[in-house]
Amino acid sequence: MFNKILIANRGEIACRIIKTCRRMGISTVAVYSEADEGGLHVRMADEAVLLGAPPPGESYLQIEKIAQAIRDTGAEAVHPGFGFLSENSHFVEAVEAAGAVFIGPPVNAVAAMGDKIESKKIAEKAGVNIIPGVMAEIDDPEEAVKIAQQIGYPVMVKAAAGGGGKGMRVVNSDDEARDGFRAARSEAETSFGDGRIFLEKFIENPRHIEIQLMADGHNNVVWLNERECSIQRRHQKVIEEAPSPLMDPETRAAMGEQACALARAVNYKSAGTVEFVSDQSKNFYFLEMNTRLQVEHPVTEMITGLDLVEQMIRVAAGEKLAFSQVDVGIDGWAMEARIYAEDPLRGFLPSIGRLSRYRAPEESEAVRIDSGVEEGSDVSMFYDPMIAKLIVHGEDRAAAVLAMRSALDSFEVRGVRHNIDFLTAIMREDRFQDGALTTAFVDETWPDGFAGAELGDREQTVLAGVALLAHVTVLARDRSISGSLNGPAGIPGRWMVQFGAQGHIHACVALCDGGLTMQVGDRTVEVCGDWRPGQTLFGGTVGGEPVIVQVERQGTRWALSHAGVSLVATCLSEKAETLLARMPERVPADMSSMVLSPMPGMIVDVLVAEGDDVEAGQGLAIVDAMKMENVLRAERAGTIGTIHVTKGASVAVDQLLIEFAS
């Protein structure tokens, strides 16, 4: 067994690998950029080596610098995690040349499976089902259009070296094929340094299902069940679960056997994932093979009891797998939610800043948190905006969904925008609870974009009750101070809880042991909980149901979050409500002539000049945010007045970019 392992990665996955190494008694070496100098993974490791400046190209993608760190620290093996250099065959060669063992598959397998075109040829030869398409490099947009017409729309435009949703577009027409080809190639060149593009048929109503496998160097290949990863946005996975609600034992076995056949075809060793796209009738086709640990590997660990990082390390050290196919079972149901620093209400644009508050749910056998941040950490514009992965386990799928909803309600993140409400809204959807999934689930559920979870009657009652309990608790404490003119007796009575533009609720409040009762119309609702001023979580019951609500005092108002609904509530006495009705309405400023940056990032290009006449929908500028290019388009026709930015400039969210003259 190795004595020292260098981890060629950062953040959450680096911390997760370090935990397993600690348990195995292996010392660790972290590498880091200047932006990550105070990072959690740096502090957790036994040693740390600075690679360079924050951009990945100057740090985490510097193969020679990492190779030098291997030599300088005497690391005997290297775990690449996922992303960055994890599927780079040149990196595998560099690690071995530096005298260390690569904790992953052999270089030939990485090279073969890392090329989307070559991997499909190998898969077809190995007897794996493949999607109809053209497995050849495409040179220009017109050739892409011609091939797309031959295949038949819809068509998927994909980067040969792609991954993580980058360099990928679904197109439905000749014009979309041209634009999709250009955008996919640009993203692929930026993210992977490889602009090769190919096309394949897009399967209607598809599901993304993948097989986890493990292989050693002694001719043993085992599949570890499947994961359903159909809940995606922009081809980026959001919710993953194991097993899949679509699968039956026969289909599962067929997928597993094909995945193992592909692994054997390239003499695979270590952990790997074979991804399939399946239609609703369980016809499945090979998508790609990821020759690394997957982001969603914890759900497989939850249902099998295996530590996949440990297995990778043991296989790399030359050990045989200690289990066979018959030993692999399915224990209950597991789900993972990826918590990102992004704003779902603004098209999921990335958010950067400092985590002024970060309180994850308490971990247990049923709840696991994989994270590379802590309270006070900075979310940088240079890297993936994932804050944490929340993994839960239940005896069945319904139990896992309930566990996830409860854990999301209690996950506190402040300082950056985040997607927790969006994740909870997914859990609330009947279609999700029924397991009727497709990769278009998010777009079909919120075709006009996510605007927040619905404030239903139940959620309104819960939030109003908790707001009133918090408000009267603070009021009672304040009025109990010596010398106060009004005692607690003045609190009961008629109150209005205002939820801003989301409406209001009237209630007659009375105090009781352990909380209060509120009369809402003809209903009497009891709110019970041992909440104290300063606490940010309310845990108790509303109407007899257990609830968890996030509570933050904002002056005279209360910021609340529960069941995917986040809002600010104002509790008004009957007199205050009367006075509020006399307040003049505030008219917002006119911003229609200004183009603001919807995200922090870098200006890739400015597509117009001052004095240009533009039409609605015309591109104005391209902003790169966390390796994804976003075209900002004119919302109306007009003439460009002043341009405030230049190509290559870094911009902040809501920064003024362009002004219209008319």
Q: How far is CA 35 from the centre of its chain?
A: 21
Q: What is the mean pLDDT of residues 451-480?
A: 91
Go through 421-456 and write b for each residue having 16 or more CB atoms within 10 A of its CB, e for each that does not. Answer: bbbbbbbbbeebeeeebbbebbeeebeeebebbebe
Residue 367 · residue 642 · CB < 8 Å: no
Query: pLDDT-derived band of residue 626, with 50, 70 and 90 as boundaries?
Result: low
Specify burial of residue 617 (Cβ count, 10 A radius: 0-12, 13-18, 19+): exposed
- CA count, 13 A, side-chain hemisphere, 187: 29
Q: Of residues 12, 200, 210, 288, which has the active-site annotation?
A: 288
Structural domain boundaries in the chain: 4-103, 132-201, 207-445, 457-480+487-580, 594-660
Q: Measure the CA–CA gap between 562 and 543, rounded to whole angstroms.
A: 15
Judge whether 288 counts as a catalytic residue: yes
DSSP 8-state secondary structure symbol assigned to residue 130: B
Structure tokens at 213: 């496998």
Contact residues for 483 (Cβ-Cβ < 8 A; gap 6+): none
The one-character DSSP state at 139 is: -
Q: Strand 221-233 and strand 537-542: pairing?
A: unpaired
Residue 488 pLDDT greater than 50, yes or no? no
* CA gyration radius, the chain: 27
User: Whole-angstrom Cα distance, residue 271 to residue 298?
Assistant: 13
- 286 Cα distance to chain centroid: 24
Taking residues 553-557, what's their average pLDDT? Answer: 92
Q: CB atoms < 10 A from the CB of 107, how many?
A: 17
Under 8 Å between Cβ of 213 and 176:
no
Strand locations in 284-385 (E): 284-290, 333-340, 342-343, 349-350, 353-354, 357-359, 367-371, 378-379
517-547 residue pLDDT tens: 999 989 999 999 999 999 999 999 999 999 9
Strand segments (E) across 298-442:
333-340, 342-343, 349-350, 353-354, 357-359, 367-371, 378-379, 386-394, 412-414
Question: What does the pLDDT read at residue 577?
Answer: 82
CATH class of 4-103: alpha beta
What pLDDT, on a 0 to 100 scale, did the predictor assign at position 266? 95
Note the pLDDT of residue 593. Answer: 87
Q: What gap in Å lies between CA 231 and CA 225, rounded to an integer? A: 19
Q: Which spans in 365-496 are helix H?
A: 397-409, 420-428, 430-433, 441-445, 457-479
Give the span between the Cα atoms of 57 and 37, in whole angstroms: 17
* Residues 266/123, Cβ–Cβ less than 8 Å: no
CATH topology of domain 457-480+487-580: Glycoprotein, Type 4 Pilin (3.30.700)
Beta strands across the sheet bearing 101-102: 47-52, 27-33, 4-7, 77-79, 101-102
The chain-wide mean pLDDT, for the chain, equals: 92
Tokens representing residue 414 in the block: 């402040």
Q: What angle do CA 389, 395, 396 make, to 5 degrees?
A: 85
- Are the folds of 132-201 and 457-480+487-580 the same? no
CATH classification code of 594-660? 2.40.50.100
pLDDT at 17: 98
223-250: pLDDT as tens digits: 999 999 999 998 889 999 999 999 999 9
Residue 490: per-residue pLDDT? 55
Q: What percent of the chain has pLDDT over 90?
A: 74
Check whether 133 has a pLDDT greater than 80: no
> How far, in Å, CA of 113 to CA of 136, rounded?
15
Mean pLDDT for 287-294 is 95
Q: What is the mean pLDDT of residues 59-69?
A: 97
Nearest residue to 405 (alpha-carbon basis) of 335, 486, 478, 307: 335
CA dist., res. 540 & res. 473, Å (int): 15
pLDDT in tens, 241-275: 999 999 999 999 999 999 999 999 999 999 999 99
d(CA 330, CA 28): 32
Residue length of the chain: 662
b/e for 381-412, b at 16 or more Cβ within 10 A? bbbbbbbbbbbbbbeebeebbebbbbbbbbbb
601: closest CA among 344, 425, 376, 342? 342
Most confident of the ranges 163-167, 333-337, 579-583, 625-629: 333-337
- Give the CA distances from residue 2 to residues 28, 79, 463, in Å, rounded to whole numbers and listed in that order: 10, 12, 53
What is d(CA 572, CA 580) in angstroms, rounded to the nearest whole number? 9
CATH of 207-445 among 3.50.70.10, 3.30.470.20, 3.30.360.10, 3.50.50.60: 3.30.470.20
If you classify domain 132-201 with CATH, what class do you get?
A: alpha beta
Pair of tokens at residue 230 = 């159909």
CB 508 within 8 A of CB 496: no
CA distance 365 to 52: 39
Average pLDDT over residues 589-610: 87
Task: Find out whether 302 and 393 touch, Cβ atoms under 8 Å.
Answer: yes
Is the torsion defined by CA of 539, 543, 544, 545 positive or negative? negative
Q: List all residues 6 or more positions away from 328 whose beta carbon is below 8 Å from its beta carbon.
A: 222, 223, 224, 225, 304
